[in-house]
Structure 1
């Protein structure tokens, strides 16, 4: 429920930001409750924004090791899926593809789709999944590896679930519809419902805003 409240509040904040400036500044998100924080300069960022996506290392669909170094200096969008999912994951993948295709010329943009059933989704399975969905973006990585590492990253770095991530451990199954927008300094700047096509338009707009305005 708090996510719904957040999305409504976030929309209002965006509208106010747009009305105040010609070039809106996206908020930062420092906590799992996604309270937006607006800052104006580098000093405020250093003082108020402590949370960043933690370091990681996972294999992608080509059995290539992908780490935080691959997204260094890049905006990225993350989500959490599994290839055998018959409910929300196909919709999420189609919607992520809308964003990917719309921004195919953005060289400093990556997409990270982490498998929440990594014991099933080996690189070869993820490769077939990417091909099946006709995804050609070389900067869209489908990632697999240690279950506990993926779940910890999802809950403690990306704040990916409805319930506060810190209250769960890796034994509890992770399933979330959220897309998380992360800036070039690995700070969270937006959350979106990946099952809603309409929200993809907002995500596209926010990525463009980051690309144009991010100077830190």
Structure 2
């Protein structure tokens, strides 16, 4: 029996199939399990960096311009599954283990990469495809950002422009049903003040 970090592994002699196949199969099942855990998938908004999650974790957002499938070497790849894995892992690590966003993001990226490779897909090819649809903070296509998008990733990256756009959406009244507009607006302003206090951008904050 060999040991991989703290978890023992043994060859699947009784199954008479290679370990790599079993590992890929289990990863595929794990992806399905994560997808089933998602309470709501929203593809109706513009999301910085392709995907994100609501503050309460009940909604996973994938950018409305991101294709749900990818034609790769004669196969149709469901890319949503990999993005869902990343966002669920990241959100869980932040909320349940109180990890810093940047640490949670790194772990989630490694999980996403492992899932992509287990599906016999080149990580480099996958990443190249994804980068075509990434919207950065200065992207003019960011016109429909959800008001309940979790702010932690953007707070940590000092993305003040996005926070200001979100504040503008709040002021316009474009909020999901049941959202406390005053509380959300106050939270955004608080994040901007915190960024400014720690050396971030200091341009005019929303009223």
- How high is the TM-score relative to the length of structure 1? 0.27
Could you say which structure has the higher strand fraction? 1
Higher relative contact order (CA 8 A, sep 6+): 1
Could you say which structure has the higher helix fraction? 2
Q: Which has the larger radius of gyration?
A: 2
